[in-house]
Structure 1
């Protein structure tokens, strides 16, 4: 009898804690609720969703609500997938992480001879940001070949390769092109065949701007990006740099990202050695507002592995606490607020339950 009462008490306490933690999350997500650009939130503990919810709207014009199946542009959260593609090809023996980027992309200037794939993965290659090379008056979206052409005509760099850290979208665009050279497939097809399909991420894709369905209908349940201007939300879904791929072109949902998260705990996709390489600190992050080291497509802060993603009209973050087997993912189709601090606050009661009296 006493044991039954004790078990009932523990179950009730656990249920009360879960309710409190969920209510805390809902309070923190209030800004995303209503007839405004919204967000999708997922809290995973031991592989199970403790909170899986959509807030606000994915499409203001059509009043389409955000759901757990809504596909958001991941922006730089995409980089962990590009890094995984490089690691898979290294496992296949198709490339080496210490290969020169110029070995794969020989149009680059001789100054890049000593820039390695490993350095590009950790943002230590010193390449010039392609955003700073866009010609004045450019109106057409840039694609990866445009980026390669601009970098090929730019012999200067920020620093000698391997000597410093500077976050580089240029590097990840080039890594995407290396995936194509080494695999013989397009980047979108390689990601589909080697990552999305095996993990049953059935609604995730790398968006290609010259897709035959220019209205974006190739993206299922698509969220469109918005920015607040003069007190009004205006659609700002694409800009000049929204068509590059390896640095930020993937669309996905919290439901599909739950499958990605699960695969990062075992060898169903990447070997233990590859996962260890991705999650190890290779460079100290500088020039960014958060204290962190950088792995391959992941920032590392204390016990967390995380990455944010920002592009015009989207702000996203995934934060993983592998030791606690907890992950929180927040995807939003708006230019503000930046969600990293919100996610840390959402995670707090799941990480540190309040003592029950």
Structure 2
């Protein structure tokens, strides 16, 4: 038995000893792990890292497969992943902190917050608000790109109008990464702190979480290599761009404008266990271990869907399609080949985190099939 597997067994036995898990669960653990390992043997999967929360406590965490396919190094629980769009909830959490501090309002015109005009040319008199950004109801889309703000700035791009769709702002949902790179920029302009540093000081450090948006501030040896699967060649290819440090761009950083360099929309790097701790904070209405990150009111606002059509709140969505009979709150992520999900049930106090650094992209009920099947195996073993 490898060292990380031995430590995993010891951690589980400690949970049994302290009465957090019944001893009878031991057989369920073995059954669940066998099911996941069997799935990995019959499907193209590089690695899987999982965590289960029950009664708002992490009761199970384990990593399967490889961290680095070329070096054949095992994926372990301390590995860091770029979690893609789950990152949006960190940006929204920061915005809610600034709202609570009366520095901004969700109804503010983002043009005033950003310093250049943000208007759908088809509806020039309709302001686009911060709430619209966080709920994907701004009428913006990603067709012109979202890695810098020049595409949207009328002073920088004569084709800025192409960034908008035909729907009136506030009247329709369209998922858009640019929304959250704008939100991250607003965090920076309002707080006076560089985006990555704000998130670290006001969310990660209070929760004792080791992660962040700035590659150069993290231990690169912990990064799980991300792989994209080719349906044509049926092989995995590493995606080094997932952890591109962008050091040169940061050296010429313009506060309140260069923010997309850190990708507030998808650039958080974090371990599965720490993501589970962050999830518990949201499940407990903004508080973890005596530390309040956002108010109960802000937490409820983030988790409440604005429409029954898309079930999306403020960077958190509701779904009844992951676990049969359960309506969960959370988010998914997908980028560079990585697949991630974080979903919890606030009333029943359970949650699931599943991350793959490379797997088959097949979809099932709106989710990556590998992640959905893994989530159900974990639910049946530890929660049901």
TM range (shorter): 0.7 to 0.9
Give the CA deviation at 1:224. 1.3
For 1:17 and 1:147, the matched residues in 2 are separated by 54
1:57-102: per-residue Cα shift (whole Å, max 9, x none)?
Answer: 1112222211111101110010110110110110111111001111
Among residues 110, 117, 131, which one is paired with 1:118 in the alignment? 131
Q: Does 1:227 align with 2:240?
A: no
Secondary structure of the corresponding residue to residue 305 of structure 1:
strand
Relative distance call for 1:174 and 1:340 in structure 2 (3 A) is farther
The equivalent residue for 2:374 is 342
The equivalent residue for 2:95 is 86
Q: Does 1:180 align with 2:188?
A: yes
Among residues 144, 148, 167, which one is paired with 1:133 in the alignment? 144
Kept after mapping to 2: 8 A contact 1:279/1:300: yes
Kept after mapping to 1: 8 A contact 2:152/2:161: no
The equivalent residue for 2:58 is 49
Relative distance call for 1:144 and 1:207 in structure 2 (3 A) is farther
The equivalent residue for 2:294 is 270
What is the correspondence of 1:74-223 to structure 2 with a 5 Å cutoff?
74-111=83-120, 114-129=127-142, 132-134=143-145, 143-146=147-150, 148-149=152-153, 153-156=159-162, 157-158=164-165, 159-202=167-210, 204-207=211-214, 211=216, 218-219=219-220, 221-223=222-224
Kept after mapping to 1: 8 A contact 2:213/2:262: no
What is the correspondence of 1:226-265 to structure 2 with a 5 Å cutoff?
226-229=227-230, 230-238=233-241, 245-264=263-282, 265=284
Relative distance call for 1:155 and 1:143 in structure 2 (3 A) is closer
Relative distance call for 1:260 and 1:33 in structure 2 (3 A) is farther
Secondary structure of the corresponding residue to residue 343 of structure 2:
strand
RMSD: 2.9
1:31-77: per-residue Cα shift (whole Å, max 9, x none)?
Answer: 44699620111111123333210111111222221111110111001
Kept after mapping to 1: 8 A contact 2:50/2:61: yes
Relative distance call for 1:29 and 1:320 in structure 2 (3 A) is farther
1:142-200: per-residue Cα shift (whole Å, max 9, x none)?
Answer: 74345554896422522111111111111011101111111111110000000000100
Kept after mapping to 1: 8 A contact 2:35/2:377: no
Q: TM-score, normalised by structure 2?
A: 0.75
Give the CA deviation at 1:306. 1.9
Relative distance call for 1:335 and 1:108 in structure 2 (3 A) is farther
1:297-350: per-residue Cα shift (whole Å, max 9, x none)?
Answer: 111124310211000120000110122111110111114242134313431343
Select between 104-113 and 312-321 the one with higher mean Cα deviation. 104-113
Kept after mapping to 1: 8 A contact 2:151/2:160: no
Q: Does 1:311 align with 2:322?
A: no
Q: Does 1:301 align with 2:322?
A: no
The equivalent residue for 2:3 is none
Relative distance call for 1:88 and 1:29 in structure 2 (3 A) is farther
Q: Structure 1: which 5+ residue stretches go unaligned?
A: 1-10, 135-141, 287-292, 353-357
Among residues 344, 349, 357, which one is paired with 1:320 in the alignment? 344
Relative distance call for 1:276 and 1:109 in structure 2 (3 A) is closer
Relative distance call for 1:171 and 1:342 in structure 2 (3 A) is same
For 1:96 and 1:246, the matched residues in 2 are separated by 19
Q: Structure 2: which 5+ residue stretches go unaligned?
A: 1-18, 245-259, 321-326, 362-367
Secondary structure of the corresponding residue to residue 42 of structure 1:
strand
Q: TM-score, normalised by structure 1?
A: 0.80
